[in-house]
């Protein structure tokens, strides 16, 4: 999965997490319920690592994420290849600073014809995933969401929780590629400026899509 897909997948899971309430209760399930109870906004920093099937790290990146329920988010990658993904409730904007290119799509149809689309119908998460507890691993309580659709872009998603906070999310595809995101400096329900979720293409960049 490219950065854009990873960011969307992570955000859509964060927005959809309360819908897994039908999962059998356990340590991770209980922490997840506490984390999502009353969650309206979120800010966190993250480190992202992509590991191939041979265990070799293909990419390291970091950045920040802001979420405002029900449908707005901002996901920023820093470093040598900065990118921004901004959803304002109507459109999603992907800005690649190195390419000087902005891609814009309607938010309502963004994940159509993609395995990501199952995440937008929150009532279907428990139907589309097998959800189970995996126990403790390195101090984290793990919850596994395994896709039941054989054509899904990923085989499973792991959520790692500690002290009622999601601190790790890992996505694994059928080819053994693992994308792991570690969250830190997590702020729950912080006040967020509206400007965070507005995007205006910089002057001179190429704009692709429904603008």
Distance between the two ends of the chain, CA-based, in angstroms? 25
Q: Which residue has the tokens 């480190």?
A: 47
How far out from the chain centre does Cα 177 lie? Answer: 16
In a domain, 207, yes or no: no
User: What integer pLDDT is reported at residue 201 of this predicted model?
Assistant: 94
* Mean pLDDT (whole number) for 80-109: 88
Any domain includes 208? no
Share of the chain above pLDDT 70, in %: 76
Domain-located, residue 21: yes
Question: Cis bond leading into 47, ω under 30°?
Answer: no
Alpha-carbon separation of residue 161 from 37, 54, 62, 64, 158 (angstroms): 15, 26, 20, 19, 10
Q: Is 180 within the bounds of a domain?
A: yes
Total domains present in the chain: 1
Whether 13 contacts 169, CB under 8 Å: yes
pLDDT tens sequence across 131-148: 788 999 989 999 888 877
Radius of gyration over every alpha carbon of the chain, rounded to an integer in angstroms: 17
Collapse the DSSP code of 187 into the 3-class scheme (helix H, G, I; strand E, B; otherwise coil) and give the result.
strand
Distance CA 147, CA 206 (A): 36
Q: What is the CATH number of the domain that holds 50?
A: 2.50.20.10
Rounded Cα distance, 194 and 173, in Å: 35
Domain membership of residue 87 as a residue range: 3-108+124-198
Pairwise pLDDT comparison (47 vs 33), residue with the higher score: 47
Q: Is residue 205 part of a domain?
A: no
Q: What rounded mean pLDDT belongs to the chain?
A: 79
Phi and psi angles of residue 70, each rounded to the nearest 5 degrees, phi first = -100, -15
0.85 cut: is pTM over it?
no
Residue 206 included in any domain: no
Residue 84 lies in a domain: yes
Q: How confident is the model at residue 109 (pLDDT cuts 50, 70, 90)?
A: low
CA 171 – CA 146 distance, rounded (Å): 10
Examine residue 45 and state whether it is found in any structural domain, yes or no: yes
Q: What three-state secondary structure class fits 16?
A: helix
């Amino acid at each position: 999965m490219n950065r854009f897909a990873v960011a969307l997948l992570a955000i859509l899971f964060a927005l959809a997490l309360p819908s897994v309430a039908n999962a059998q209760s356990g340590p991770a399930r209980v922490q997840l319920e506490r984390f999502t109870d009353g969650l309206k906004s979120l800010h966190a920093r993250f480190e992202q690592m992509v590991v191939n099937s041979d265990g070799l790290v293909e990419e390291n990146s970091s950045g920040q994420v802001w979420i405002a329920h029900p449908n707005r988010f901002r996901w920023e990658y820093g470093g040598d290849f900065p990118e921004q993904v901004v959803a304002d409730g109507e459109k999603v904007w992907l800005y690649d600073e190195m390419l000087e290119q902005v891609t814009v799509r309607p938010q309502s149809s963004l994940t159509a014809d993609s395995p990501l689309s199952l995440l937008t119908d929150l009532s279907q998460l428990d139907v589309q995933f097998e959800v189970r507890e995996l126990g403790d691993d390195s101090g984290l309580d793990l919850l596994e969401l395994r896709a039941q659709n054989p054509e899904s872009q990923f085989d499973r998603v792991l959520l790692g929780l500690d002290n009622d906070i999601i601190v790790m999310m890992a996505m694994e595809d059928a080819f053994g590629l693992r994308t792991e995101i570690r969250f830190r400096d997590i702020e729950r329900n912080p006040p967020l400026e509206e400007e965070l979720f507005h995007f205006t293409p910089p002057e001179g960049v190429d704009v692709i899509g429904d603008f």
